[in-house]
A and B are shown apart, each in its own frame.
Chain A
């Protein structure tokens, strides 16, 4: 799973039928320090996340499909499965001295 920030949502009237009622969110992956890293991605929401939330995104098709649509087999490869309250890091890692 990766950490990301929800930065917007995507409205698409004409879409795959399995996407009906889904919330399609635009997300920016984050580093542990909260900095933006990598390309933005589109993920289906399963936890009522909102713009500005730091979230957990699963990037595996079966799990993402089950989480977002309750059924496997939809054409989905990313789903938001949690809203992050906070992150605890080892002290050494906070100082950037990763072991």
Chain B
């Protein structure tokens, strides 16, 4: 799982039936200092995230578990919205 910022949305009318009604968001992964790290990815939203929000996403087969896991094709799913930048702390508080 990784921290990321939602930086945009993707609109795709023609898509796999299992993705019908699902929100597709572009996420930019962040490091522990909330600086961009790696290339942006397209993620399926499972939690109601929106553009600009700090989120946590999950990769792999497990990414389909919040949905109908047998047939939802996703490798990147948003599973949490971080309360704010200040809610990411390192070391002893």
Residue A98, interface by CB 8 Å: yes
Q: Report A18-29 CB contacts with B as 1/0, cut-off 8 Å.
A: 000000000000
A61–B74 Cα distance when bound, in Å, is 10
Other than the known A31-B39, A56-B12, A87-B10, what 10 A-B pairs have Cβ atoms closer than 8 Å?
Answer: A1-B74, A46-B73, A47-B14, A63-B72, A79-B73, A82-B15, A82-B24, A83-B12, A88-B9, A93-B8
Chain A residues within 8 Å of B64, by CB:
60, 62-63
Chain B residues within 8 Å of A95, by CB:
none
Residue B71, interface by CB 8 Å: yes
Q: Are B41 and A1 in contact (CB under 8 A)?
A: yes
Residue A90, interface by CB 8 Å: yes
Q: Count of A-B contacts with CB under 8 A?
A: 113
**Residues of A in contact, count (CB < 8 Å):** 35
Contact of A56 (CB < 8 Å), options: B24, B59, B72: B24
Residue A32, interface by CB 8 Å: yes
Chain B residues within 8 Å of A1, by CB:
24, 41-44, 74-76
